[in-house]
């Protein structure tokens, strides 16, 4: 086991801390995750696949993927724009805007859902006007997308802002002095410099979008086969004692989470390899 030469804790203490960490991970992560797959496959592969091919399950999967497919690109663009604004410009109210950026982290998702109900509900002025023109937000797919957009908004910006602050704008200023216009500077200088942080933010946004429950539960209305995402349908199946269906869908979410972590780990290794290669070239 490699240790930091500046740290001289006794070897038994090191093994004790490692043991505590592994025990915690086993109890809180590995065992529950294994239990989900064990319960999902308890009735065999045929029943497992039948649960996933249920029309309600297929509808929930499609809605979850549709929501993520819309939310992730929109939040990627908005996150980059917000990071650019907060790191490259000084203006009155900048600190307030930076604070408000973390609002989705501090507000309960259920409260976020209620905010949209109070704004777009059928008994509100705006919601009533929209429904009169054939646009339904609450208890429909648009409401689910808006709620998911809100709770996932900070992830991309919060990944990019520290990096852009650390890098500064010297390279961008140099590109402008050499004759590049704004778009050329962004595509050839800014975007390559923030691409890894942007990818991490996109991965986190995608994971949260597919697993969001609280805000989506409030605005969805739980309409069977129409507005239930995977997390919502898991709760419904569980409450109806359809344990195989509930755990089968839970296993899908677990697999998506594992895939997200695997992609993040791969990107980290690629970034580290490129960083070491750049250091060797500089040396």
**pLDDT one-digit tens code per residue, 222-279:** 888 889 999 999 999 999 999 999 999 999 988 888 888 888 788 888 877 877 877 7
Distance, in Å, from the CA atom of 81 to the CA atom of 85, rounded to the nearest integer, reads 6
Across residues 26-33, what is the average pLDDT?
88
How many CA atoms lie within 13 Å of 170's alpha carbon, on the beta-carbon side? 3
* Residues of the chain above pLDDT 70, percent: 96
The architecture that CATH gives domain 45-282 is Orthogonal Bundle (1.10)
Say if CB 212 and CB 147 are below 8 A apart.
yes
Residue 203, judged by CB atoms within 10 A of its CB (0-12, 13-18, 19+), counts as: buried
Q: What's the pLDDT band for 43 if we cut at 50, 70, 90?
A: confident
> How far lies 182's CA from each of 19, 163, 194, in Å?
53, 20, 16
For range 151-161, the mean pLDDT = 93
pLDDT band at 5 (very low <50, low <70, confident <90, very high): low
Domain ranges within the chain, ordered by starting residue: 13-42, 45-282
Region 19-42: mean pLDDT is 89
Per-residue CA distances from 119 to 6, 153, 209, 235 (Å): 57, 18, 21, 26
Residue of 200, 253, 255, 212 lying closest to 80 (CA atoms): 200
Of 136, 114, 137, the C-alpha closest to 218 is 114
Q: Name the residue among 82, 251, 91, 87 with its Cα closest to residue 152.
A: 82
In the numeric block, which tokens belong to residue 263? 């992609």
Neighbouring C-alpha atoms within 13 Å toward the C-beta of 186:
9
What's the pLDDT at 13?
Answer: 84
């Amino acid at each position: 086991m490699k240790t930091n030469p500046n740290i001289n804790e006794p070897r038994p203490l090191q093994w004790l801390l490692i043991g505590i960490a592994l025990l915690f991970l086993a109890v809180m992560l590995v065992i529950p995750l294994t239990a989900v797959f064990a319960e999902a496959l308890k009735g065999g592969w045929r029943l497992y696949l039948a649960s996933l091919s249920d029309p309600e399950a297929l509808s929930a999967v499609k809605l979850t993927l549709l929501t993520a497919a819309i939310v992730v690109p929109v939040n990627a663009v908005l996150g980059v724009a917000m990071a650019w604004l907060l790191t490259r410009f000084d203006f009155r109210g900048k600190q307030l805007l930076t604070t408000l950026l973390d609002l989705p982290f501090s507000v309960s998702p259920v409260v976020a859902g209620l905010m949209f109900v109070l704004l777009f509900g059928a008994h509100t002025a705006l919601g009533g006007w929209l429904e009169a023109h054939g646009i339904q937000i609450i208890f429909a797919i648009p409401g689910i997308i808006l709620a998911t957009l809100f709770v996932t908004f900070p992830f991309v910006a919060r990944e990019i802002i520290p990096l852009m602050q650390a890098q500064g704008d010297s390279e961008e200023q140099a590109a402008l002095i050499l004759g590049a216009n704004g778009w050329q500077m962004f595509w050839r200088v800014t975007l390559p410099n923030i691409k890894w942080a942007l990818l991490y933010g996109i991965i986190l946004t995608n994971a949260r979008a597919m697993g969001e429950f609280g805000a989506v539960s409030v605005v969805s209305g739980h309409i069977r086969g129409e507005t239930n995402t995977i997390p919502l349908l898991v709760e419904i199946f569980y409450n109806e004692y359809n344990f195989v269906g509930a755990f089968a869908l839970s296993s899908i979410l677990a697999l998506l989470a594992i895939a997200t972590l695997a992609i993040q780990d791969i990107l980290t290794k690629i970034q580290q390899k490129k960083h070491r290669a750049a250091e060797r070239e500089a040396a």
